[in-house]
Amino acid sequence: MRLIGDPASPRLVTNKTGIDHTQRMLDYTRSRLESLAKEELCGFIFKKDSPSSGLHRVKVYGENGIPGKSGKGLFAAAFVTRFPLVPAEEEGRLNDPELRENFIERVFAYDRLKALLAGYAEERTKGLGALVEFHTAHKLQLMAHSVPLYRELGVLVAQAKGKDLAVLMKSYEELFMKALSFLATVKKNCNVLEHSMGYFKKNLSADEKAELLEIIDQYRNGFVPLIVPITILRHYVRKYSESYLEGQIYFRPHPGELMLRNHV
């Protein structure tokens, strides 16, 4: 089967016979999305190039029979419309280490966020303390993805008192996931690493500071993976009992066994 027509609203037809299966697929999609809504999803992986489940650059054939890679599979398009905040990625793109880390990082972050939201929804969490604590713990992680959106989230939390809680949490959820959708680049990671180093300015000797700056620079130039400066900073966090950094999700955004920060 393949997609034909308008990339924004394509038809799904068989290649040789031209039988139109669009409505059947849309009916299935509607039913499937209803069942998935009960699954508390924290992420979803789609099939590359699929006319039903391709997420990026799916071929859509025009009237001249020439395909343009500008579409989404019917199911994939409906999914991201129904669940815009659920981290979604395509299988082939997960071979890229940066995209893979970003996707898995968002999966774990969304799981933590959903736990926070559930606490408010079920009235297990009272007041704004839990939101402030959550936002504080994710400061460096957010900075590594988008400083402007981190600041916007900070304003949202700072001005939260007296606002409708449901509206506040919805706004925070949307901005938080939007921020993490930006890749944490080498440049942004270096800014966070150097920012973290500032917490030890009274503890580290001149040689230790020089060594740490050298390792950060090696990471910046692609000679060592991110895990190297992260490991050294975590060592200093434990050595000097730096409680603020100890609580930062940035240093442990996902299980270390995944080795997502070990690539150069």
Share of the chain above pLDDT 70, in %: 100
Q: Is residue 64 predicted with pLDDT exceeding 90?
A: no
Q: Do the domain assignments include residue 264?
A: no
Whether 22 is covered by a domain: the verdict is yes
Per-residue pLDDT, 125: 87
Domain final residue pick, 66, 92, 118: 92
Give me the domain span that covers residue 218: 187-258
Which residue is it, tokens 């950060």? 216
pLDDT digits (tens, 9 = 90+) for 3-19: 999 999 999 999 999 99
251 HSE (CA, 13 A, CB side): 21
Say if residue 63 is in the same domain as residue 46: yes
CA distance 261 to 227: 5
98 and 88 housed in the same domain: no
pLDDT of residue 169: 96
Instruction: Report the share of the chain in percent with pLDDT over 90.
Output: 94
Same domain, 54 and 116: no
Query: Among 92, 114, 144, where does a domain finish?
Result: 92
User: By C-alpha distance, which of 55, 73, 65 is closest to 9?
Assistant: 73
Assigned domain for 263 exists:
no
Residue 110's pLDDT band (cuts 50, 70, 90): very high
Q: Is 13 in the same domain as 84?
A: yes
Q: Is residue 168 part of a domain?
A: yes
Which residues in the chain belong to E strands, given as ranges?
2-4, 11-13, 44-46, 58-61, 67-71, 88-90
Number of compact structural domains in the chain: 3
End-of-domain residue from the set 180, 206, 224: 180
Task: Render pLDDT for 243-258 as a digit per residue (tens, 0 to 9).
Answer: 999 999 999 999 999 9
Q: Please report whether residue 247 resides in a domain.
A: yes
Q: Are residues 68 and 126 in the same domain?
A: no
